[in-house]
Amino acid sequence: MYGHPTLHYFFYTLVVISALIFGANGDYLIGVGSYDMTGPAGGVNMMGYGNFDQNTAGIHFRLRARTFIVAQSSDGPRFAFVNLDAGMASQLLTIEVLQRLQKRYGDLYNEENVAISGTHTHAGPGGYLQYVIYSVTSLGFVPQSFDAIITAIELSIAQAHDNLKPGSIFINTGDLENAGINRSPSAYLFNPPEERARYPRDIDTLMTLLKFVDAENGKSIGAFTWFATHGTSMSRDNKFISGDNKGAAARFFEDWFTSTSKNASTPINNYSKKLNNRGLLEKAAKIKATGGQPCSNTTSQGFKVRKNDGSLFVGAFCQSNVGDVSPNVLGAFCTDSGLPCDFNHSSCHGNDTLCVGRGPGYPDEILSTKIMGERQFRKAVDLFTSAKEELTGKIDYRHVYLNFTNLEVQLEGNEVVKTCPAALGPGFAAGTTDGPGVFGFEQGDTEVSIDPSMKLKKIETTTLTQPKLYNSQSKVKLNLNSSTLLHNLN
Ligand SMILES: *[C@@H]1O[C@H](CO)[C@@H](O)[C@H](O)[C@H]1NC(C)=O
Ligand SMILES: *[C@@H]1O[C@H](CO)[C@@H](O)[C@H](O)[C@H]1NC(C)=O
Ligand SMILES: *[C@@H]1O[C@H](CO)[C@@H](O)[C@H](O)[C@H]1NC(C)=O
Ligand SMILES: *[C@@H]1O[C@H](CO)[C@@H](O)[C@H](O)[C@H]1NC(C)=O
Ligand SMILES: *[C@@H]1O[C@H](CO)[C@@H](O)[C@H](O)[C@H]1NC(C)=O
Ligand SMILES: *[C@@H]1O[C@H](CO)[C@@H](O)[C@H](O)[C@H]1NC(C)=O
Ligand SMILES: *[C@@H]1O[C@H](CO)[C@@H](O)[C@H](O)[C@H]1NC(C)=O
């Protein structure tokens, strides 16, 4: 139902590291952390595409929570930023994390100065958000998903906190041209011409990098980048847990840093090359299933998970103003004819489910993920190695919860109007070319042309578990029938 990959929070969280560019002599305490957050790899619906049939069945590569903390002094103002290999954070995660941080550190980390962000991968386990629309396809709340993420956030923050040491921060920016396209170019054309004229393209190509350097030995301890492109290189039919292109970029970056710090003349690997994976497959085949027994240090998890106690370099690829930016840069084509889709409706002879975007590795989505990861990784290496501008000044932050219902907006001619309550138009159900939604809906439609209740039969009398009962594990039966759901959606 909610096949729209750009589904976002009902509240906007605005966090600004401001005033960093003013003032003088900014030596900070800086710490980084990284913790595995993979979650249930079998039978759990995945977060992002809203596809009932997309349930985890294995792992492409593991997910991580990566954190940096920058503090003015050991008890002074500070800021913690966490990047999750997940579709998004959730208010529920934030509430639980803050409670755990309160127990560890009192008021040092709080609602104001902790930001939790998701890479927007569409290939992680779902069911960890509290609002019903995010939990329909996972049939409610999934405690195992929630536990894995919450633990990783808490422990990656704890690592970063324990590793705080004097350091400095460098910033660099640059454009990355081939890592995204606008997947709804006809919708973009509805923007006023004078506004469009202000931008060279219909997407934002800016990558911003922060580089953290240890003051004592001059070595970098980590780098975080922000760049807008969807985590939809892995398709809505993929069943493997994956960090998608940004998770891949992070691993490439961390591997590159580790190898260059050992050997300054190591070239950058070309990850997009078709590799002979036989060695890897043989190694993987040697790892035996535990048959339901807990993992030991030579089997499964304990053996395979990368360890980082925060002393290793942490490279993170964070999501920014992603909007309609797609990593499927070859464009969208009809799966039946192979021709480009209908421009205004992103459909093929009226059928939206036939119109699907193609990544550069098409038809191999794992290759597409690698290539899109590699493009971001290479740009990050450029920005990292040439970063010269040092950030100085005091640390400050802003965090706003804003209710978008009934906000006053001043139009030209001083007319004042109000925003509506939250609403989803019929085009929402059509999804996007990264993950088409339900047949019968088309992008650009302002009316529903078929009887939508036909498509909603599946979720009638669905059993959803409620997040409030997280600890008690009880299930609650919600009588969610098509007419009530549709009512809520419109
Ligand atoms: C460093 O890497 C280069 C290129 O891969 C290689 O030729 C050289 O032997 C390496 N040096 C050491 C000391 O490992
Ligand atoms: C990496 O390898 C692929 C396939 O061989 C090639 O097409 C691509 O140009 C290479 N990329 C770089 C940056 O060398
Ligand atoms: C695994 O754990 C056992 C017992 O805890 C220990 O004796 C052994 O050295 C460990 N092996 C490895 C490879 O860490
Ligand atoms: C798309 O819609 C616009 C009006 O919104 C129209 O001018 C244009 O001709 C349409 N393009 C196609 C290819 O149908
Ligand atoms: C639309 O396409 C899907 C395949 O993606 C197919 O299952 C469905 O039957 C098509 N609908 C019509 C009316 O052709
Ligand atoms: C947002 O504002 C609307 C109207 O003022 C109100 O009905 C709604 O309860 C508010 N939402 C929250 C979460 O406060
Ligand atoms: C669905 O729910 C609505 C509102 O609760 C109710 O009026 C309607 O009778 C229900 N329909 C079915 C088929 O259960």
Describe the crossing of helices 244-262 and 365-386 by its angle, rounded to 10 degrees: 50
Pocket test residue of 351, 433, 442 for ligand 5, highest count of atoms within 8 A of CB? 351
CA distance 2 to 354: 17
Catalytic residue annotation: 326
Does the N-terminal peptide bond of residue 363 adopt cis geometry, omega within 30 degrees of 0? yes
pLDDT in tens, 408-466: 999 888 899 999 888 777 788 889 999 998 777 888 887 765 555 544 443 444 455 54
The residue nearest atom 5 of ligand 1, judged by CA position, is: 266
CB atoms within 10 A of CB 484: 13
Q: Tell me, in angstroms, the distance from the centre of ligand 3 to residue 198's CA.
A: 61
Domain spans in the chain, listed from the N-terminal domain onward:
5-400, 409-488
CB atoms within 10 A of CB 10: 13
- CA distance to 245, 377, 428, 485, per residue, from 2 (Å): 22, 31, 7, 11
Question: What's the maximum distance between 2 C-alpha atoms anywhere in the chain?
Answer: 72
Q: Please state which of the ranges 20-29, 53-62, 88-97 shows the lowest mean pLDDT.
A: 20-29
What pLDDT does residue 424 have?
78
What pLDDT does residue 449 have?
56
Instruction: State which ligand 1 atom lies nearest to the alpha carbon of 263.
Output: 1
How does the average pLDDT of the chain come out, rounded?
84
Find out whether 71 and 29 touch, Cβ atoms under 8 Å: yes
Instruction: State which ligand 4 atom lies nearest to the alpha carbon of 344.
Output: 1
The radius of gyration of the chain from alpha carbons, rounded to an integer in Å, stands at 23
Report residue 452 as tokens.
């939508």
Question: Which segments of 240-347 does DSSP mark as H helices, in order?
Answer: 244-262, 278-286, 300-304
- CA distance to 47, 48, 337, 358, per residue, from 346 (Å): 23, 19, 14, 13
Backbone φ and ψ for 401, nearest 5 degrees, come out as -95, 120
CB atoms within 10 A of CB 307: 9
Amino acid at 305: V
- HSE of 308, CA atoms in CB hemisphere, 13 A: 32
